[in-house]
Amino acid sequence: MSNVIARLDDVSMNYGERVVLQNCSLDVVEGAITCIIGLSGAGKSTILRLLNGLRKPESGHVYVKGTDICHMPEHELINFRSAIGFAFQFAALFDSMTIGENVALPLRENTSMSESEIEKTARGTLESVGLENNYDNFPSELSGGMLKRAGFARAVVTNPAIVLYDEPTTGLDPIITHLLTDTIKRLRAQLNGTAVVISHDLQSIFMMADYVAMLFEGAIIAYDSVTKIRASMNPIVQQFLQGSEVGPIPL
Ligand SMILES: Nc1ncnc2c1ncn2[C@@H]1O[C@H](COP(=O)(O)OP(=O)(O)OP(=O)(O)O)[C@@H](O)[C@H]1O
Ligand SMILES: [Mg+2]
């Protein structure tokens, strides 16, 4: 049995009247890439917010490394979050800081590294995503794909045990998509860590995922290896993978 590093256990979650997750459970296997698929608005980003304690569920538990983070006080959560990298759906870099300063920020905030160590680590991490020449650029000077990569660099710079990627390739050309998918795989191998990736891009999911979880109507309705998900007899999974209008998914 593989080790589970994070777990949603019977989680329900609303935004006001809107029920987003209902009795939702998910295991995140240590050292693997887990991809979450599902319709737009299904609650995928919400799952990532729960996994790093940005949101708390109405009921159920969220365990990370064996600790139930739902009851963690905010000051402990801040500390805990430094062990989780978050590459946001929109890169979310600070416009007033250079790329280098953006990537260095988590090191400044969460470690006692010296200034020269911080710069060296930030430069090394930028190099690992192919942005070694962009340390002194501002975000406004980079393309969308470069910003995504800078966001990856900032998410992994502290060497976190888990990295959460929210739609890392959405809206990018096929070559950059391939490159970023490869980057996620390579960073995971380099960090010897765990990744949870939300993506709508089936090709890149098939390329990187160890496990695929499908979120539908508030819960994970299918969870398996890529090969088994592709061969799944579940009509909802099949309709989603084929992008068909015909099937049980309401349009
Ligand atoms: N802060 C919020 N306040 C109110 N409703 C929200 C909030 N965040 C998300 N929602 C609602 O919750 C639902 C799930 O949102 P979420 O962002 O988790 O979906 P998603 O699966 O990531 O969608 P997408 O694929 O479009 O990114 C949506 O209906 C959304 O409108
Ligand atoms: Mg989302």
Per-residue pLDDT of the chain (251 residues; tens, 9 = 90+): 579 999 999 999 999 999 999 999 999 999 999 999 999 999 999 999 999 999 999 999 999 999 999 989 988 998 888 889 988 877 789 999 999 999 999 999 888 999 999 999 999 999 988 899 999 999 999 998 899 899 989 999 998 989 999 998 888 889 888 988 998 998 888 888 899 999 999 999 999 999 999 999 999 999 999 999 999 999 999 999 999 999 999 88
Closest atom of ligand 1 to CA, residue 42: 21
CATH of the domain at 236: 3.40.50.300
d(CA 14, CA 107): 34
Of 151, 181, 31, 37, which is closest to residue 85 (Cα–Cα)? 151
Residue 103 in domain = no
Residue 122 in domain = no
User: Which residue's alpha carbon is nearest to atom 23 within ligand 1?
Assistant: 41
Tally of structural domains, the chain: 1
Which residue segment(s) compose the domain that 242 sits in?
1-83+162-168+193-251
Backbone φ, ψ for residue 45 (5° rounding): -60, -35
17 CB within 6 A, ligand 1: no
pTM: 0.93
Q: How far, in Å, is the centroid of ligand 2 from the Cα of 211?
A: 19
46 CB within 6 A, ligand 1: yes
214 CB within 6 A, ligand 1: no
Residue 202 in domain = yes
Residue 63 in domain = yes
Residue 144 in domain = no
Distances (CA, A) of 184 to 82, 165, 167, 219: 19, 9, 12, 26
